[in-house]
Structure 1
Amino acid sequence: MSLAARKSLNNLLKKFVWDGAKDNKRIPLINWDTLCLIKEDGVADLKKMELQNSTLGAKLSWKMCKEPQKLRCRLFQKKYLDSEDTNKILTMANTERGSATWNFLWDCRHIITNHISWQIGNGYTVLFWRDSWDGFLALTETFEDKGWVDMVENCIGKHVCNYMEDQGDQNGLRKWKKINIGNPSLCEQLWKAIKDRKIPESVEEDIIILCAVKSRMYSSKLGYEVQRQRGSINTWPHKLSWNHKVLPKVRAFLWITLHNRILTGDTIKNIGISGPNRCVMCCAKEESTNHLLFCCPVAEYCWNWFLERINWVIAKNERLIDFILAWPNRQKTKWCDLWLNGPSLIVWHIWKERNRRIFKEASLPQFMLVEKIKTSIEEVLNGKKIKGNPKVYTNWDALMEKRWALKEPQLYVPLIKHLDRKAIRWKAPPMDWTKLNFDSASKGNPGESNIEAIIRDEQGNILHGLFGGIGVATNNEPKICALEVGLCLCIRQGLSRIIIVGDSHIIINGISWSILHNWKLNKWVPMINEHLITIESYKIGHVYREGNQVVDYLANLGVGENDDPIYFSQASATEDIKGQCMKDYQRYPQQGIG
């Protein structure tokens, strides 16, 4: 990769990190070299194109050894190495300079040569004293008396095969010769170094391996890792700032906060922008990251409230990062996510309150601020899903359920494989029941949208249905609107036993729990609950798109083409709609919810 190409890719990465999708220029808050350090050092673990380029060059060197039959490898072997030995690219000391590709390949081979060892076959190629073999350092690294080593080499030989007996033992392992030359203590030291090395009998040639990984093969990931240096930070709460259970934007903000790079008064002053730097929360001290989010009276009130709510006592630190480092990381209890989401959401809401006071000239009293924090924590925890059985349930979990409005976590529904989903079809409801299928479609998010709902009996006959446009909406709004309109249609027709199915996990789970974690969607929940109360008996379930094909077909009739929904029945439905319904019934006439 050329220098210009590497610079261009680096610039694209930097623009993505700091500027986003917009063209406006933003201030880089953290140094690029720091961002490219490993995640355990508290940074973003981004790729440097220079290191990635060297990694790929080392891969070419590795392929010279492992794939010598390739045309490129045979060309380099003949032109620059002039040898039949395919390992020479990694073992020889120097070579003449050549084409740009060869020079690049040669300059990158050190990434591999620093981590290679030999796997012994017949022992004819590997140097006993000078090479690393069997994953150990070269024996010359452990013997300071180089004169004795040279004497043994002259008497016995240079290669591993010279130090092994011709016959192996009963287990098929090679036996080592006893060395009795010169200093007896050095001979005993050598015997201790090699006696536990198990070399199987083999007539195959010796091969080069990488001793840094179990697979013994080079990979781009390994090459990149061995080049990258760790930062100066020895301890970092990366399990809290990078945990997938924390909201993405919140953990990103926490990460920038722990680097002390959010745009507080002192940070803005350091980058050369003048302005007021008094803390707007207490109006008493200079605004800094540590003061605003941890030491300010408002921040202290929020932290003390949270510690009391979770029934925890922790030593008071002077710095936020020390407090986060001392924060426990519990992973085995039912509501352990409180320990992960609590600190990050407190920091997030304090920052939002600070911006509200500066830019909107409005403020919330402290009790309302902690109420917003409480609501956010409950929404995050109630929206989580678990796999299999819940975790350990303790007295602390029981106390948390009393102090917080927590509900039983939803079970994670594993995705069905594509081949299995082909067998999914619409299932007819039981006798005297009807089934309501609903769906929607949108051209964009937000974009022109339409809704679809259809009600059928146990014979697959259409009782009632509708489809049509509702204007511009986000992708989930039309789905819950279709459900509400479909329920209204059921009630209007006097249906009392209804099975309600849709292909949206968000809507189905939200209606089952009577809460949706989006304020635009949540306003529909009370209306739907009122409709459900008037129905004698109902069941709510999820179905994959393959079992929701009729309403999916109605969605394809046109998004946003009709101003108002069009209602139809068995008599007024088109032949295409009737054909789709009959195909569903004939393919899978079993009864059930799906």
Structure 2
Amino acid sequence: MGYEGPSRCILCKAQSKTVDHLLLTCPFASKCWRCFCAKLELILVLPNDIKLLFQSWPLHTKESLLSQIMEIAPSCLIWEIWKERNRRLFESKARNQKSILNSIESATVDSINSISSFALNQSKVFTSWDRKISQNWQGIIIPSLSRHNTISRKGAIWSPPKPDWVKLNFDGASKGNPGPSGIGYVIKDQLGAIIGKMAKPIPPDTNNIAEFTALLLGLKDYINHGIKNIIVEGDSEIAINAIRKKATPNWRLQALLEGILEILNSLDLFEAKHIYREANTEADALSKVAALGASIHWWSQGS
């Protein structure tokens, strides 16, 4: 005959271990929810039941560019509280509340950045609530509102770099996101002549990982040939903004970004530009064939 002792919450040490307590009513979890709601500009009386919480959770207007944040936020918060519970229970390690809140925000921001670039294709607009959230959540990258201008996109074409410069166009593809992935890049001179190009399959992953990897491998190839002035150009707003901000909320992307910045900072001059996919067709095509398993690596003998 077994003996079952008192059930104790690992987060607050109270004699309770129900799911509702752990994820919602525990003082530790409750404070996470209150702080999170405040950052969402949300006044909400939290129920004592997780199911009721999801049923009553408000969803902002569907026209809002960042409306998805209200759908993603509760899952991110619950996941981080659950991970902290497991960390304390199985690893005997504990983080303070501020660290956990930072992790919740980073997870939410990364999710939003992964999908917000597609939001304007669904007739989203930038509302006053979006403005407040973008001020409170500095890591969120707001997609360019000019994406609505389909005429300008159709007219987008690749342009050559300045004299004595080269241009590296990069792209990544993931069939399934995550799924089978590939990277592609092409490097051209001021006359539009190809200096080097690559299509390479990589382990299954996300579009963002593929795009950052494409840029990193392209820069490594480039630096090995002793060229100094470069323009990096891609249709990934997340990658280009990460270079400009020198940071990204996702730790996996940050690891790739650090390698990218290390190379760029070693150069005499560099520029980072965002372009439409219509002006990035060669890199786009290379990444897509790579995601299907094809490999290409070519470099001009005269370079």
Matched with 2:188 is 456
- Residues 562-573 of structure 1: pairs in structure 2 closer than 5 A: 568-571=299-302
Matched position secondary structure for 1:391: coil
Alpha carbons 1:426, 1:548 under 8 Å: kept: no
Matched, 1:370 2:105: no
Matched with 1:97 is none
- Residues 174-573 of structure 1: pairs in structure 2 closer than 5 A: 277-315=7-45, 317-331=47-61, 335-383=66-114, 384-385=116-117, 386-387=119-120, 390-393=125-128, 397-398=131-132, 400-411=133-144, 427-429=158-160, 432=163, 434-438=166-170, 453-462=185-194, 464-465=195-196, 467=198, 473-475=203-205, 479-488=211-220, 490=222, 493-496=226-229, 498-502=230-234, 507=239, 511=243, 514-515=246-247, 518-532=250-264, 534=267, 535-543=269-277, 546-548=281-283, 551=286, 568-571=299-302
Matched position secondary structure for 1:282: coil
Q: Check 1:568–1:392 CA distance in 2 against 1; reply closer, same or farther (3 A cut).
A: closer
**1:397-440 Cα distance to aligned partner (Å, 9 max, x none):** 43x444332445214868x9xxxxxx999845156253323457
Larger Rg: 1
Matched with 1:241 is none
Question: Which of the two has greater strand per residue?
Answer: 2
Greater relative contact order (Cα 8 A, min sep 6): structure 1 or 2? 2
TM, length-normalised to structure 2: 0.67
| 1: CA distance, partners of 2:77 / 2:111 | 13
Q: Percent identity?
A: 28
**1:561-590 Cα distance to aligned partner (Å, 9 max, x none):** 9xxxx7732548xxxxxxxxxxxxxxxxxx
**1:162-220 Cα distance to aligned partner (Å, 9 max, x none):** xxxxxxxxxxxxxxxxxxxxxxxxxxxxxxxxxxxxxxxxxxxxxxxxxxxxxxxxxxx
Q: Check 1:560–1:314 CA distance in 2 against 1; reply closer, same or farther (3 A cut).
A: closer
Matched position secondary structure for 2:128: coil
Q: Check 1:495–1:541 CA distance in 2 against 1; reply closer, same or farther (3 A cut).
A: farther
| 2: CA distance, partners of 1:299 / 1:291 | 8
Alpha carbons 1:334, 1:397 under 8 Å: kept: no
| 1: CA distance, partners of 2:95 / 2:257 | 28
| 2: CA distance, partners of 1:527 / 1:391 | 34
Alpha carbons 1:279, 1:286 under 8 Å: kept: yes
Alpha carbons 1:434, 1:458 under 8 Å: kept: yes
Amino acid at match of 2:90: F
Amino acid at match of 2:193: N
**1:71-130 Cα distance to aligned partner (Å, 9 max, x none):** xxxxxxxxxxxxxxxxxxxxxxxxxxxxxxxxxxxxxxxxxxxxxxxxxxxxxxxxxxxx
CA RMSD of aligned residues (A): 4.6
| 1: CA distance, partners of 2:143 / 2:69 | 16
Q: Check 1:490–1:286 CA distance in 2 against 1; reply closer, same or farther (3 A cut).
A: closer
| 1: CA distance, partners of 2:27 / 2:274 | 48
Alpha carbons 1:480, 1:524 under 8 Å: kept: yes
Q: Check 1:560–1:369 CA distance in 2 against 1; reply closer, same or farther (3 A cut).
A: same
| 2: CA distance, partners of 1:468 / 1:364 | 42
Amino acid at match of 2:24: F
TM, length-normalised to structure 1: 0.38
